[in-house]
Amino acid sequence: MYRLMLGLAKLMAILGGFVLSALILLTCISVLGRSLNGIFHSDVMERIAPGFSQWMIDIGVGPVNGDFELVEAGVAFAIFAFIPLCQITSGHAAVDIFANTFPRWLDRALRTLTEVVFAAVLILIAWRLFEGMSSKMRFGETTFLIQFPIWWAYAASLVGAVVAALVGVYMACIRVIEYITGRTLVPEGAGADH
């Protein structure tokens, strides 16, 4: 079961990486287009090559329309896509100032409690994303500039949130079993470099 969950978490992280890479490329293209558009609108360029400047403007050289809307939706998906891998590898940020001095039983109890609470929070987030997506679908809300349905971004994020909730519940179950039996089934930080 661990391999399945780890594989699912890695797949989501890879998808999140592809989306994030595409967003970086989109942002670079948009910034370059915005800069070129400014150059083509300048008085100097219109005097030097007025026909060329106007032609470049006419063919659409400029910022990508709705780039910030696409980045907003894509980054939301990427965040939810990375949570499962972070959850299964115990890669979340932790402050161990006092935890290093705790007895082993208390450390295990706190780790178990943290995993259970985190699983509950991930389930709550997935549920609220589903409710938000349903609302956006019902009312047909779209983005301002490119008019794509807002629920698409919610749906993409919901996929990551559901996988995160599944992995979170799995890890909570693992930590509860570990606490009860005293055995280590999945090492803390398995697969993560700290």
DSSP annotation string for 117-169:
HHHHHHHHHHHHHHHHHHHHHHHT-B-SSS--BHHHHHHHHHHHHHHHHHHHH
- At residue 4, the pLDDT reads 92
- At residue 113, the pLDDT reads 92
Model confidence pLDDT, tens digit, residues 109-160: 888 998 999 999 999 999 999 999 999 999 999 889 889 899 999 999 999 9
Contact 48, 114 (CB under 8 A): no
**In the structure encoding, which two tokens stand for residue 184, read together?**
């280590």
CA angle 176, 178, 179 (to 5 degrees): 65
- Identify the bridge partners of residue 176 per DSSP, sorted by sequence position: none
- At residue 192, the pLDDT reads 46
- At residue 190, the pLDDT reads 52
- At residue 194, the pLDDT reads 43
Query: For residues 4 and 10, what is the distance between their CA atoms, to the nearest angstrom?
Result: 10
- At residue 127, the pLDDT reads 97
Prediction pTM value = 0.81
DSSP annotation string for 11-77:
HHHHHHHHHHHHHHHHHHHHHHHHHHHHHHTSHHHHHH-HHHHHHHHHTT-SSPTTHHHHHHHHHHH
Instruction: Point out the residues of the chain with pLDDT beneath 50.
Output: 191-194
